[in-house]
A and B are shown apart, each in its own frame.
Chain A
Amino acid sequence: MNLTRISGTNKKHRVTLYALSTCGWCRRAKDLFNANNIEYDYIDVDLCVGEEREEVINQVQKLNPRVSFPTIQIDDSVVVGFDEERIKQLLEIK
C-alpha cells in the first residue's frame, strides 16, 4: 500500500487519511491538515488498482465497516466522514 506522506511541522499525532481523489469532503480534510501544517499520510483509494486496491479496501473495512470516505485514523481513533470538530479535537488544533 503506497501511502503518500505530506510533511508538516505538526507531527504530534500519527495521521492516516483514506480518501477518494474526487471527493469534496476528503479534499476538505486535506485542506484542514495542510492549513494546520499537520504531517499526514494519505492514499486516494479510487486511484489504486488490482491487489493494492483490494488491500487498501480491506484496511479501510477494518477501520470502518461501511467503507466510506474519508476514513481518517488519528493515533488509535478512527473518524468516519469529515467531522471537523472531532478531527480538530483529536489533533488538538483550533
Chain B
Amino acid sequence: MSVEEFSPEIEQVYEQLKKEAEEGGYHLNPDKQFTLRLIQGLLTNEKRFGYRACPCRIAWGEKPKDIDIICPCYYRDSDLEEFGACYCGLYVSEEWIKGKVPRKSIPERRPAKFAIEGYSESKPSDQTGQVPNRLPYPVWRCKVCGYLCARPEPPGKCPVCKATKDRFERFM
C-alpha cells in the first residue's frame, strides 16, 4: 500500500492535537497514516458543518443533534477505559500503544436513538436537588472528560480535554 500525502494543514492540526492530547494525559494513535486520515475526516466535517464531528459517525449537520459526537466525543473516555481506544481510533491508551489490548474497531457506545434522531439531553439527575443551596458558585462539568470547576460561568475551553464552553453542563 502506498503512503499517502497529506496537506500541510492536516499535518499542522496533527501536531496541535498531539501536543494538546499529551498535555492532558491522552495519546493520539501512533499509526500516523491512520491518524492523519481521521484528521482529514475531522477537517472535512469542520468545513461541511462548522464543527469537527466524529469522522466515523453519521452526522446531521445540526450542532445540537451532533454535540455528543464532536471530537473529542462524550464517549471517548469510557471507550479508552474499556477498549483502549476511542470509537474512531484517534485516541488510544498506553496499553493500546504497548500492544496489551487488541487493536481493532470497537463497538459503538452512542445510543442507537441518537444515531437515528440526533442527540438529546437526559433528564437532570435527582442528585442535584439534594445539594444544599449553600454553594458560592455553580459547579460546571465537562461532558467530555468530567472536569469540574466552580465559577460563575463554565470556562471557554476545558483545560484538560480542550472541549469548548458549550459542552459543559451545570453539575450542581
Contact = CB atoms under 8 A, between A and B. Distances in A.
A25 interface: yes
B108 A68 contact: yes
Chain B contact patch, size range:
20 to 34
A7 interface: no
A67 B41 contact: no
A42 B38 CA distance: 20
Contact of A66 (B41, B106, B115): B115
Contact of A22 (B55, B89, B112): B55
A23 B112 contact: no
Contacts of A26: 56
A35 B37 contact: no
A31 B115 CA distance: 26
A81 B116 contact: no
A50 interface: no
B45 interface: yes
A17 B55 CA distance: 17
A69 B34 CA distance: 16
B37 A24 contact: yes
Interface string A12-46: 00000000111111111001000100000000011
B116 A24 contact: no
A61 B44 contact: no
Nearest to A26: B56
Contacts of B128: none
Contacts of B34: 24
B107 interface: yes
Nearest to A81: B105
Interface in B109-149: 112, 115-116
Interface of B: 1, 34, 37-38, 40-42, 44-45, 55-59, 88-89, 104-108, 112, 115-116
